[in-house]
Amino acid sequence: MRETNPWVNQYIRWGISIFPLKERDKKPILSWEEYQHRHPTAEEIQSWVSNGHRNWGAVCGAISGNLVVIDVDKEELFRELNLDDFAKETFTVRTGKGYHIYLRVDSPIRRKSLIWDGKEELRFQAEGSYVVACGSLHPTGKEYTHYDGSPVEIKKYSVSILEDIEKRWKRYHNLDKIEEKRKVIKESTTRGKDLEEFKRKVGMKLIEKYVEPKRRYYNYWQGLCPFHDDHNPSFTVYEDTNSWYCFGCQKYGDIINFIQEIEHLDFISAIKKIEDETGIEFFSREKDEETGEEKKKISHATLAEIILNMHHFITLRDTEEILWWDGKKWCFNGETKIKELCQRIIEEIGKMEKATNHIVNETIGYIQRRTYIERYLLNSNKRKIPLLNGIYDLETGELLPSSPDFFFTYCIPVEYDPSADCPKIKNFLKQILHEEDIPVLLQFIGYCLIPEQKFHKALMLIGDGANGKSTLISLIKRFLGPSNTTSISLQTLLENRFAVANLYGKLANLYADLPDETLKHTGLFKMITGGDTLSAEKKFKPHFEFEPTCKLIFSANKVPRTLDDTTAFFRRWILLNFPNKFEGDNRDPYILEKITTPEELSGFFNLVVQHLRWLLEKGEFIENKSTEEIREDYIRKSDPVRAFVMDYINQGRIIENPDAYVSKDELYAEFIKYCKKIKLPVPDKSVFGRSLKSVLPTIGETRKKIGGEMKRCWKGISLDVPKDEEQSEEEEWF
């Protein structure tokens, strides 16, 4: 007689619906579905027991008190998911290959399988399923036994415990990251209504023509990525959201992006390719009334959605100006870009020869209404610098990928190379400047890289012609980028109401050879350098308000005089003197090309950023003069001849006497020494002569015999410089 199962009565006491299975098998000997809805009668059980049935099935689900059996086959999974903790709390059976963990939940659930690499790894046996009961025999002959250490009772849990176990399983296989990425990618790949409907109809089946599925799950599958050398399936297709993501190369998109990428097509061509491959059309058709020819039809809304998927656009709420993303920065000619795209798309889909004004204007309006942002978002990230090969993070030193999300309207035309140097630029700066002035210049150029007026400073480069000022201005312009700079004189800025609008979004205003015109109204200059809110307008455009971040850099032979004698004006200036001349053999006509190679500019960026960090850490420029010192320096540099005469008269070095005279060459040489000693610009000899007459109107000109030679002289003054001082100055300067 066959041995009966000793656990049958225990299952009955637990209220579990049971039925007999085939001997040493998992299959029922009868139709078991009715026992999902009723318990077997005592007579049925007695009959089955008397027939000596050893193998029994335990029905899961509501009929057995919302019984759920966690069915796991792998020992490793049992340990890694900490299921052994449950085995200590509730009845658990050791199966042929794994475990059955019995528990009851507070609400009924359907059976669920967790599949990895095409195989069921973990099952929640619930409504609609059964398990082989304890005491039965596995087909291998091994008995289903009570797991040592587990109680002979079935504990009740919240159904959320199963969700927790599923999360553990997903973490075990890194599927939690796949699920998380699914949500992000879905949001990133959502398009307009018409395109979403097209994607829904097409689905993701077309991708299987290019990528073979290696692993399938509920609503996504994985294969080897076609976009990089992939050996472990990392290319993930989310069929329920019509999107894909590669965990290896981080590329992502939808079916349109995929076809664009793998077939090297633009957006419109990719849609056409999908139409050809699937037979599903995106563009509807209409018949031409004149020719009877059937042509593709497109609405302005669909046209706008296509354009929005080809390029990024934003619209400034205050002026309704449209900007478009060129891959490195936001550009202001967005409306022109849309017009160009409208014509191209309509021609490519074969609707008509040209885009009508009506559909173009409707498309522009649609894009504007979809893309409004506030102006303050532009260039608001003050510690990141957009470069050709990425976004440089000033705080961490990292190079981040370029992204429209930073809202930069400029890009420095330089590639970041942490190992680059700029020996030619360094040598050039040593030739044109006093060595102690180089650090403050580098700090100011670095200051131009951050969109803020934190230090309330402007820069004036001073010196007569052929001394490197214009070359330095050109170097800075090429470094920052011509499109990121403007060139407006200080006088024009202060007097032309439209001029200030040209500063918006620029890094620097670089103006060479500032005219020698007196500055009468300097309020706007102080507002610009102070970063105060300005109201600006462009011709035939609405006015707008902005906080200026454009740095002001001017060069001049002589600092312009000013009627503003306030501290607020003078403390804003950094004045740098250019003491040397480069003429004849000393002049290199190709110097600019030599110092603006890509390698030199990359090295210059490293040098400038180093000095910018010092500036930000210290909170002030290296040249930290008092306001009174700056005032005196400015006044002297605005009229160096007057400063020379007044100083020398006060010191008794120039003596006014109607009968006295001094050689013009001797006086000019003394003037040069004076200027170099206190870093003043040196005007040429003719300018010096004209200025001297305006300062000393009583002097005249004459010729005198000096040292046996006839020399041109100034009459009415004499020069008295001690011999020992004259000698020391000659040694110092010459």
pLDDT given at position 728: 47
pLDDT given at position 633: 84
Task: Give CA 162 to chain center in angstroms.
Answer: 41
* Segment 109-112 long-range contacts (CB within 8 Å, at least 24 positions apart): 109/66, 109/68, 109/159, 109/162, 111/60, 112/162
DSSP 34: G
Quick check: is 390 in a domain?
no
Most confident of 111-120, 373-382, 552-561: 373-382
Confidence of residue 731 (pLDDT cuts 50, 70, 90): very low
Q: Do 240 and 335 lie in a common domain?
A: no
More confident residue, 170 or 439: 439
Confidence of residue 291 (pLDDT cuts 50, 70, 90): low
pLDDT of residue 562 exceeding 90, the answer is no
Q: Do 110 and 130 lie in a common domain?
A: yes
Confidence of residue 157 (pLDDT cuts 50, 70, 90): very high
Q: What is the CATH number of the domain that holds 205?
A: 3.90.580.10
User: What helix, strand, coil percent values describe the chain, rounded to 5?
Assistant: 40, 20, 40
Task: Give the pTM.
Answer: 0.66
Q: What is the CATH number of the domain that holds 536?
A: 3.40.50.300
End residue of a domain, out of 227, 257, 278: 278
Quick check: is 394 in a domain?
no
Quick check: is 477 in a domain?
yes
pLDDT given at position 215: 84
Cβ pair 101, 159 in contact under 8 A:
no
Query: Taking Cα atoms as reference points, which of 392, 413, 328, 385 lies closest to residue 597?
Result: 413
pLDDT given at position 246: 92
The count of structural domains within the chain is 5
What is the torsional sign of CA 177, 183, 187, 193? positive
660 Cβ contact partners less than 8 Å away, ≥ 6 residues apart: 715, 716, 717, 718
pLDDT given at position 218: 72
Q: Do 304 and 318 lie in a common domain?
A: yes
Q: Do 148 and 97 lie in a common domain?
A: yes
Q: Do 491 and 600 lie in a common domain?
A: yes
Query: Taking Cα atoms as reference points, which of 451, 351, 362 lies closest to residue 408?
Result: 451
> d(Cα 26, Cα 137) in Å, to the nearest integer?
9
Confidence of residue 725 (pLDDT cuts 50, 70, 90): low
Cβ pair 329, 409 in contact under 8 A:
yes
Quick check: is 387 in a domain?
no
Q: Do 512 and 647 lie in a common domain?
A: no
DSSP 395: T
> d(Cα 630, Cα 503) in Å, to the nearest integer?
26
Quick check: is 600 in a domain?
yes
Q: What is the CATH number of the domain that holds 682?
A: 1.10.10.10
Q: Give the per-residue SS3 of 260-319.
A: HHHHCCCHHHHHHHHHHHHCCCCCEEEECCCCCCEEEECCHHHHHHHHHHHCCEEEECCC
Quick check: is 2 in a domain?
no
Average pLDDT of every residue of the chain? 89
Residue 705 is part of which domain span? 639-733
Compute the average pLDDT of residues 554-562: 87
End residue of a domain, out of 611, 629, 647: 629
CB atoms inside a 10 Å sphere around CB 712: 12
* Percent of the chain whose predicted confidence (pLDDT) is above 90: 63
| pLDDT tens sequence across 615-674 | 999 999 987 678 888 888 888 888 889 899 989 988 899 999 999 999 999 999 999 999
**Strand-strand pairing, 330-331 and 294-297:** unpaired
For residue 221, give the H/E element and its range.
strand 220-223
**Strand-strand pairing, 399-400 and 390-393:** antiparallel
Q: Do 665 and 578 lie in a common domain?
A: no
Quick check: is 517 in a domain?
yes
Q: What angle do CA 288, 293, 297 make, to 5 degrees?
A: 60
Quick check: is 385 in a domain?
no
End residue of a domain, out of 278, 312, 330: 278
**Strand-strand pairing, 372-373 and 313-316:** parallel
Q: Do 196 and 165 lie in a common domain?
A: no
Compute the average pLDDT of residues 444-449: 97
Task: Give CA 41 to chain center in angstroms.
Answer: 71
| pLDDT tens sequence across 321-360 | 999 999 999 999 999 999 999 988 888 776 555 678 889 9
674 Cβ contact partners less than 8 Å away, ≥ 6 residues apart: 644, 647, 648, 680
CB atoms inside a 10 Å sphere around CB 726: 12
Please give the structure tokens belonging to residue 258.
Answer: 């995929």
| pLDDT tens sequence across 6-35 | 899 999 999 999 999 999 899 999 999 999
pLDDT of residue 5 exceeding 90, the answer is no
Please give the structure tokens belonging to residue 487.
Answer: 């060139």
Confidence of residue 733 (pLDDT cuts 50, 70, 90): very low
Cβ pair 39, 47 in contact under 8 A:
no
More confident residue, 633 or 55: 55
Confidence of residue 591 (pLDDT cuts 50, 70, 90): very high
pLDDT of residue 450 exceeding 90, the answer is yes
